[in-house]
Structure 1
């Protein structure tokens, strides 16, 4: 089968796993910490710090993405970006990814190649030196991509959610609310009788509302600002994957404090900034008087109490992203 001419119509069912992997692996990014890469039963990575930060995340067709909106390249980019952001939120430098894909047998190999291109270019732009060191390919009726990411703390202590103290400064690096606005526009574009989104309308939205739609489909989290925050002495940090208010509450609960957010620092649409998920920006807390590093900007403060406040008043309308609730607000 490997000697057969390649065509754009080749599917996983027609070429089988070995040939698909032969075509995909050369497109994947290499890791700067690889000792032994793909080809054996497992990769071997260098661990200069003696410790590794590890995270994993899945994207499942339906609850997490939809082909009518996302191109394969988008999916590869977002799968990398969301995991890189979690590593950065610990103050670590991303070093390696392991990628597993379960796809219908009718999936074209060129679609997997485009996913590999998205993975490669996301790593090159967001986390140079990070690469794919292995993974798995299987068959499933529902397309699923799972990524495990590794990071190097470079001798620093990890930045946890539990270190915020009253008087500390709350800051954000990256956009707030853009991905949620983009998702709402995509969903409002409508679906057909089978519940499938319209790729034609999605293409129009990508053209006419590129900034917010691409913030949803192809996020650009500020990966380098995670280690910068750690070097600046950040006392707490996390990735804003589920929404500012919801994620700020997680820091508040872990630290035994309240987070008071200044609505005037949230831009023209504070509600979208508070309630929208999937921005994958970084929320960090710093000691008073710290010069904020990188792209971080002041949005609030840590105070005595519990939960989230907005302009000093309790804020309970947390909103945010929940994979167990459909994009139309219904469970499932």
Structure 2
């Protein structure tokens, strides 16, 4: 068929730059390979990732695979505004690790998806470098991914970051929350900030209503800029969990405090007949949460249903093991734990006391 346009229409003129895609792959190859564990069988660029399951599952008697998928969400908007992307890569890996950690899983492999209005290889490289850093911290392989350039779908400058994780746990070590009993202690592990949830609220309150700048140091934030506080990386709690395993401290249940905050996430792991009383004031609330609450005039229940309020995970443990658990977590570099409540009779609710 004869072309009617003398110059011809190309994929690039339609909005997709194949050369930029190839440059991206070239930039990230060495970073991705540095995360590979011995069980990885396929190099970057393969149509499918491959893992030697014999190596992955060596030593397991009855292994259970745990999988999860999630995204960074609108936190990327803050990163884009400040041209800071490394931490967003850390965020997606850490969030995914924590989601499967609640079941006691060891992270094994990770797949990513990065979409944008216009592909910028240097930006994707920074995101992937963050992912690789987080993967290496917990001994997990970044085995593949996808970049998508979709000008009709995303606005100029927009990025979407998604990740899929696979982990493994021994069946008789699987943690579901079924072992939680009345009287168990709720131990809260400190977060670094908002992690990857609540940013639509934070942006509305702090950037639109209060019109606060992202790049000016603030006394209310201990001298940090608002951008620093909002972009603090999601904490990966696997190193602290690994220490509890070494010390043979049994955990009865775990909740990852993500979207839905305390109110919606803790009940997900509670058995019938159990509620949790959370003692407010038993841990330090980070200044960024107080800033959001004050400028937005947000009521307490809304805060605890939207934000993590300084606690990224809640672990449930028999009272006889609570002190040992808190000591072990606090002895792990970069982690802090607090006794924040207890399990009480009830209908799978969270009771905020104090």
Q: TM-score range by the shorter chain?
A: 0.7 to 0.9
Aligned pairs for 1:157-168 within 5 A: 157-168=173-184
- Show the 5 A alignment for 1:47-86: 47-48=56-57, 49=60, 50-60=63-73, 62=74, 65-66=77-78, 67-69=80-82, 71-86=84-99
Partner of 1:322: none
Partner of 2:8: none
How far apart, CA to CA, are the structure 2 residues paired with 1:189 and 1:109? 31
CA–CA distance in structure 2, aligned partners of residues 169 and 308 of structure 1: 14
Which whole-Å CA distance do the structure 2 matches of 1:229 and 1:244 have between them?
A: 23
CA distance in 1, matches of 2:166, 2:311: 17
Normalising by structure 2, what TM-score?
A: 0.69
The answer to whether structure 1 residue 222 and structure 2 residue 237 are counterparts is yes
Q: 1:232 to 1:80 in 2, by over 3 A?
A: same
For the residues of structure 1 that align with 2:172 and 2:230, how far apart are their CA atoms? 31
Aligned to 2:264: 246
Q: What are the residue-to-residue correspondences of 1:142-161 with 2, within 5 Å?
A: 142=154, 143-153=159-169, 157-161=173-177
- Could you tell me the TM-score, scaled by structure 1's length? 0.73
For residues 276-331 of structure 1, give each alpha carbon's deviation from its aligned partner in whole angstroms, at most 9, with x where no partner exists: 5256722111122012142433111111112112238xxxxxxxxxxxxxxxxxxx
Structure 1 counterpart of 2:35: 30
Paired residues in the alignment total 291
- How far the C-alpha of 1:213 sits from its partner, in A, is 4.1
Which segments of 5 or more consecutive residues in structure 1 lack a partner in the other structure? 1-10, 313-332
Give the stretch that moved more between structures: 163-172 or 33-42: 33-42
Distance 1:275 1:247 in 2: 9
When Rg is computed on C-alpha atoms for both structures, the one with the higher figure is 2
| Structure 1 stretch displaced more, 275-284 or 51-60 | 275-284
Shift of 1:203: 2.5
Whose helix fraction is larger, Structure 1's or Structure 2's?
2
* Residue among 5, 11, 17 paired with 1:13: 17
- Stretches of structure 2 that go unaligned for 5 or more consecutive residues are 1-14, 291-299, 331-336
Please show how residues 82-101 of structure 1 align to structure 2 within 5 Å: 82-101=95-114
